[in-house]
Structure 1
Amino acid sequence: MNRVSADLRADGSSGATRYAFRAVAATSPSLDSSIDIVVCVPSFRRPQHLWLTLESLANQRTERRFAVVIVENDAVQHESVPVAAQFLASGKVPGLCVVEPRQGNCHAINAAFETAMTTFPTASSLLMIDDDEIASQDWLETMTRSAETTGADVVGGPVWPDFDDDMKRGLRQHPAFRPAYDSSGPVPVIYGGGNCLIKRPVFTKLGDPAFDLGFNFLGGGDYDFFTRCRRAGFRFHWAAEAIIVETVPNSRTNIGWLMRRSLRIGVINYYIQRKAAPTVWSRAQLIVKMFAMLPFSLFRAGRVFLSERKAVVAMHPMIVAVGSALATVGFEPQPYEASKIVL
């Protein structure tokens, strides 16, 4: 993945240099640096929903002290800053809002975690929620208790869709929306960062930046991060009761968006596996594997159709396989570039 290595070289500066780009836009009236739990909220052009996300954090049923770190990733319009400032000024939850001027999904997430660990040097549990999500009232308590009782290094939880159009409820079973696991317990890996808790030692071992900048505009930086966590020997746990609800607009339920999402998943899968294939021979084997998945995906699609009876769901494995095959010849969509984002 040429873009990955190029972006890493371009950002190979020291941590201090990178942090210097970020400006603190707002803080709460009081900020206790000894807080042990921090919730990170990357934000980009969703000011109305950001308020709902932050309010859901303020409504958490827990006795645990926690703070929030909000990252504004739109250095031009700054739509999230007034919302974050108003929330922080209310004193409901302590924290701060910083502006990460370098646009990109991974830039924003790295800024959130790096700011959290710098501002709260003793914080051991770092959680993340997206700015189009609503946390259930027991979310934070369930996530942190799961980490404590299981000793897991990474805890994940379900993100259930809340469709603007109730007629789209049948898409809950589509892999783009269905959580990876149904019940709580140890799992081999989690796939998304929209509902996660990561223990501080994970960041120390994986190095800096934590989220590979090559996935900035493609997406999948979270899956790549968790894949590296698994290879490093970290343990995962799934907390099925730690529910988050994601608002899904109509623009994300049409057949075109779903097909592009499936294609992108295939591309992400290829690039993550390619990172683990260092030799010419291993990469050649990977390419053969990607193309071999095409006929196999037809069999999988048939099985899915027989169980779900929905063509749009059954098409997913086929389109994922196509995406992986196209990635071997350089296909790399960039849906998270500012000019291409459809909220």
Structure 2
Amino acid sequence: MNAAGKPIWIAIPTFRRPEQLRHLLETLPGAVAGHDVMLLVADNDPARQEGAAVAQELIRSGYDLPMLLLPVPEPGLCAVRNAIVAAALGDPAMRFLAMIDDDEWPQPGWLDALLACQATINADVVAGPVDSMFVGPAPRWARQTLVFRAEERPAGATDMLWASNNLLIRRRALEMLEQPWFDPRFNRSGGEDLDYLARLSRAGARFGWAPDARVSEWVPPERARLSWVLRRMWRIGCTETMARRKETPMPLLLIRSIGILAVRTAGLAALLLPGARRVDIAGQWIKSWGRLYALAGGAQKAYGAL
């Protein structure tokens, strides 16, 4: 891929979400107006290439922003994210890489807020909230549960960030770690972004939080179900533990995980209280079991096919 000569790259990994990707791409020009950006659409589906088809159609129709298409035939979360980082670093002019998922779209002022936070505290990485937008009616518990609530923090410096679906990384941070930037061991399990951010933190990266850099995320009906939410909590427990195994001795991690499970088990009594957030209580208990399952080496097998 030839160097594009743009200071800000906005990368979108995509896999079989053509309509959501189209909505994102149609929203982006208004959200990044006034900035010199390059869009990078990384299609991780060599068979159907639906994302590539959407990007090519928009390019042919005179899309308002410069856009590059990056086919990534090797399947997996880490494969596509590593391809994105390599492509962005290949442009000597690139100073910032923003990442947003293909089922999201930015709210007004998104990029401005990320860049303002970065400049204010000289951050290496900045993140912002993700607001869930349900497709069709959703039960009240789904709208209230932790899984779908946007994370809220004070603006400015923060100790740790957790995900890459609304993220701005400056070039210096990308160059802090050697390849592969995203550990292939997380290719099928998820949690590759948490592991990457944890390693960046240990390398001395400075993190920031921009409350006004908001993106919205579609929540399809199949996700607004109890079974999906509980599986999601199990997965979070697994992937968090997989990442922490790199820095925490196994005996200590096991003791902590058993202690957390004991506390969460005792907390199940709160399910009987009026007004209790029962899904969150049950989800935290399930998450505790996911931690232990990961310690037993089962996380990769459990999530390899999801």
What is the TM-score of this pair, normalised by structure 2? 0.92
Secondary structure of the residue aligned to 2:180 is coil
Q: What CA deviation, in whole Å up to 9, does each residue of 1:53-104 have, x standing for no partner?
A: 1111112253111110110000111111110112233231102011111000
Describe the shift of the 1:200–1:304 C-alpha distance in structure 2 as closer, same or farther (beyond 3 A).
Answer: farther
Worse-matched range after superposition: 220-229 or 293-302: 293-302
Return the alpha-carbon distance in structure 1 between the equivalents of residues 240 and 42 of structure 2.
Answer: 27
After superposing the two structures, state which structure 1 stretch, 216-225 or 227-236, moved more: 227-236
Alpha-carbon RMSD across the aligned residues, in angstroms, is 2.2
Q: Is the 8 A contact 1:217 1:335 kept in 2?
A: no
Equivalent residue for 2:176, pick from 173, 198, 205: 205
Matched, 1:238 2:209: yes
CA contact (8 A) 1:67 1:93 kept: yes
Which of 159, 162, 165 pairs up with 2:136?
165
Residue identity in the other structure for 1:105: L
Q: Is the 8 A contact 1:44 1:80 kept in 2?
A: yes
Instruction: Report the CA distance between 1:307 and its aligned residue.
Output: 9.6
Distance 1:173 1:242 in 2: 22
Partner of 1:265: 236
Residue 94, structure 1, aligned to residue 66, structure 2:
yes
The CA distance in 2 between the partners of 1:38 and 1:53, in whole Å, is 15
> Which among 81, 85, 99 is matched to residue 52 of structure 2?
81
Aligned to 1:176, what secondary structure does the other structure show?
Answer: helix
Is the Cα–Cα contact under 8 Å of residues 147 and 153 in structure 1 kept in the other structure?
yes
Cα deviation for residue 310 of structure 1 reads 2.4
* Equivalent position of 1:144 in the other structure: 115
- Consecutive unaligned residues in structure 2, runs of 5 or more: none
Among 255, 275, 285, the residue aligned to 1:318: 285
Corresponding residue number in structure 2 for 1:283: 250
* Matched position secondary structure for 1:245: strand
Relative distance call for 1:68 and 1:306 in structure 2 (3 A) is: farther
Percent identity between the two aligned chains: 30
SS of corresponding position for 1:206: coil
Deviation per CA, 1:29-61: give whole Å up to 9, x if none: xx9832100000000000111100111111225
Contact kept, 8 Å, 2:11 with 2:39, in 1: the verdict is yes
How far residue 297 of structure 1 moved from its aligned partner, in angstroms, is: 1.7
TM-score (norm 1): 0.83
Question: Deviation string for 1:294-325 (max 9, x for gaps)?
Answer: 11123556679869622112212111111001
Hey, what's the Cα distance between the residues in 1 that align with 2:267 and 2:89? Answer: 43
Output the CA distance in 1 between the equivalents of 2:217 and 2:64: 22
User: Aligned to 1:116, which of 48, 66, 88?
Assistant: 88
Q: Which amino acid aligns with 1:111?
A: A
Maintained 8 Å contact 1:153/1:236:
yes
* Residue in structure 1 matched with residue 101 of structure 2 by the alignment: 130
Residue in structure 1 matching 2:38, options 52, 67, 88? 67
| Count of residues in correspondence between the two structures | 305
Aligned letter for 2:227?
A: G
Distance in 1 of aligned mates of 2:244 and 2:183: 14
Distance of 1:103 and 1:43 partners within structure 2: 11
Work out the CA distance in 2 between the residues paired with 1:244 and 1:161. 9
CA deviations on 1:121-146 (whole Å, 9 max, x unpaired) are: 22111000000001112111111122
Output the CA distance in 1 between the equivalents of 2:29 and 2:10. 11
Unmatched runs of 5 consecutive residues or more in structure 1: 1-23, 25-30
Aligned partners of 2:138 and 2:221 also within 8 Å: no
Of residues 15, 22, 25 in structure 2, which corresponds to 1:51?
A: 22
Letter in 1 for 2:178: G
Are 1:300 and 1:317, in contact at CA under 8 Å, matched by a contact in 2? no
